[in-house]
Amino acid sequence: MLVGTLFPSFIKSTRPHLMSKETNGRRETPRGNHSTKNKKGDTPSPTTTVSVHLHPHRRRRSPPTTDRRPTSAMAMAYKMATEGMNVKEECQRWFMEMKWKKVHRFVVYKIDERSRAVLVDKVGGPGEGYEELVAALPTDDCRYAVFDFDFVTVDNCQKSKIFFIAWSPTASRIRAKILYATSKQGLRRVLDGVHYEVQATDSSEMGYDVIRGRAQ
């Protein structure tokens, strides 16, 4: 009986928060979220609940890779160039007539993408000169051209030089630029007798003074 009497008093004096309280005659039971005093006994520290969030394993994504494959237009131009262009017989025939017979001043060539062949686009007559050649070159497409340039040297000698012109204007398509650049040697092999080659993207790069300066 003594123990039963003293034990509640001991609990009440040492652990008052475990005992029920009387508030205005009403019995109040302490709740789970209660405040307790710290060791110094001056500041109550509320009971906190710490929750740990476990993230599921995430698959590591590899960085995106840049597609280095050429576009369809560039791929087609490369395929046509590697398979080889068919240079028509007329290309060499008109060139030889210009070279030996002097019946033409220039010949302009173009590539027909459907037939995959190099064709003659325009032939300049004996009365046509360099200005007519420049006018025959389109501003938005590539061409090849050969020009028989007659001039007089400083020693007053009449001479003639044949120029091969690779015309690739800035406004032309990328596919055409690639196609003409990679197919040029196929045409050059059948044009025996070319002295100089000029590559131009506008008329200033193949002006008359440029041609004359190269010839002399």
**Given a cut of 90, is residue 192 above it in pLDDT?**
yes
Pairing of strands 117-124, 86-87: parallel
What pTM value is reported for the model? 0.62
What residues contact 2, with CB distance under 8 A and at least 6 apart? none
Per-residue pLDDT band for 2 (boundaries 50, 70, 90) equals very low
Round the average pLDDT of the chain to a whole number and report it. 77
> In the prediction, which pLDDT does 146 show?
97
Residue 117 burial (C-beta neighbours within 10 Å; 0-12, 13-18, 19+)? middle
User: In DSSP terms, which residues pair with 216 in a beta bridge?
Assistant: none
Segments making up each domain of the chain, as ranges: 84-215
**Residue for token digits 């928060």?**
17
What is the fold of 84-215?
Severin (3.40.20)
What is the model's pLDDT at position 153? 83
Phi then psi for 7, rounded to 5 degrees? -65, -45
- pLDDT tens digits along 40-78: 545 555 555 555 454 555 556 655 554 454 555 555 555
Provide the β-strand partners of residue 33. Answer: none
Mean pLDDT along residues 198-204:
94
Strand 106-112, strand 26-28: pairing: unpaired
3-class DSSP assignment, residue 178 = helix
CA neighbor of 81 nearest in space, from 182, 190, 168, 176:
182
Q: 216, 81, 95, 195: which is closest to 145 by C-alpha?
A: 95
Report the distance separating Cα 124 and Cα 105, nearest Å.
Answer: 5
Contact by Cβ (8 Å): 147, 132: no
pLDDT (tens digit, 9 = 90+) per residue, 135-150? 999 999 999 999 999 9
